[in-house]
């Protein structure tokens, strides 16, 4: 995972957005492919504890796919960075299971320092919730937020064999890939309508990724 000054790996200084500019907040019920509803909402500083707990629930494989390392836990600095976002240059959305309030997924984009129309994507879904459409719904909403913030190109650096993320991205348009050994940079130019399948004005999706 590259480590620019502001990096989706979370190795920035944690000052990206705390107290900074704040974009429109997201709070939307979305339907997964099996009919389960989850809440997709903006990440806030108070989510740090939940994020720390959620990281512990990721399998080693998922953690490695997300961070290119298996960390024993997220550091306080990472937790600050991941939750104190300005919703403009750094947007983060979480998916929450309504019955338990448990965070089941999180996605973010971080605007490039050199090209303000580009941003880096990172996403992780709790293993027990994978393949149910959480990633799709998080990304659908995140891409809408990206366009609202004048981001037109989203890139993710992933392990070359990460077919899950590559497949997920392809739901939203053609993906350019640049392979560099074990890692691949996948780039999606955001279409005029940022979702492949759309969603209602209230945020409730009309169809999941497998429908």
Ligand X SMILES: CC(C)(COP(=O)(O)OP(=O)(O)OC[C@H]1O[C@@H](n2cnc3c(N)ncnc32)[C@H](O)[C@@H]1OP(=O)(O)O)[C@@H](O)C(=O)NCCC(=O)NCCS
Candidates 9, 85, 143, 165: give the one binding ligand X (CB under 6 A): 165
Confirm or reject binding of residue 160 to ligand X (CB under 6 A). no
Sign, CA dihedral 82-174-146-204, equals: negative
Minimum CB separation from ligand X for residue 84, in Å?
Answer: 20
CA–CA distances in Å: residue 206 to residues 9, 28, 147, 180, 199: 32, 13, 20, 37, 5
Candidates 39, 85, 124, 175: give the one binding ligand X (CB under 6 A): 124
Question: How far is residue 67's CA from residue 35's CA, in Å, rounded to a whole number?
Answer: 30
CB neighbourhood size of 36 (10 A): 17
Confirm or reject binding of residue 66 to ligand X (CB under 6 A). yes
Confirm or reject binding of residue 96 to ligand X (CB under 6 A). no
Candidates 31, 48, 92, 123: give the one binding ligand X (CB under 6 A): 123
CA–CA distances in Å: residue 71 to residues 17, 38, 75, 118, 205: 24, 27, 9, 28, 34
- Letters for 25-64 (x = contact with ligand X by CB under 6 A, - = none) are -------------------------------------x--
Candidates 16, 42, 65, 84: give the one binding ligand X (CB under 6 A): 65
Number of residues that bind ligand X (CB under 6 A): 25
CB neighbourhood size of 177 (10 A): 12
Nearer to ligand X, 158 or 188 (CB): 158
Site for ligand X, rule CB under 6 A? 62, 65-66, 122-125, 130-136, 156, 158, 162-165, 167-168, 171, 209-210
């Amino acid at each position: 995972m590259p480590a620019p000054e502001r990096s989706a790996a979370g190795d920035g200084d944690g000052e990206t957005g705390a107290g900074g500019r704040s974009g429109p907040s997201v709070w939307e019920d979305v339907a997964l492919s099996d009919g389960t509803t989850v809440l997709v909402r903006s990440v806030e500083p108070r989510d740090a504890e939940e994020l720390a707990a959620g990281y512990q629930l990721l399998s080693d494989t998922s953690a490695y796919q997300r961070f290119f390392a298996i960390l024993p836990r997220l550091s306080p600095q990472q937790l600050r960075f991941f939750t104190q976002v300005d919703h403009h240059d750094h947007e983060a959305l979480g998916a929450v299971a309504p019955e338990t309030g448990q965070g089941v997924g999180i996605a973010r984009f971080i605007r490039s320092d050199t090209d303000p129309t580009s941003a880096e994507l990172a996403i992780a879904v709790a293993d027990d919730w994978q393949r149910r459409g959480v990633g799709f719904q998080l990304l659908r909403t995140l891409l809408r937020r990206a366009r609202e913030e004048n981001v037109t190109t989203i890139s993710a650096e992933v392990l070359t064999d990460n077919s899950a993320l590559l497949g997920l991205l392809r739901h939203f348009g053609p993906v350019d890939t640049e392979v560099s050994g074990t890692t691949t940079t996948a780039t999606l130019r955001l279409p005029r309508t940022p979702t492949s399948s759309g969603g209602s004005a209230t945020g409730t999706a009309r169809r999941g990724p497998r429908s």
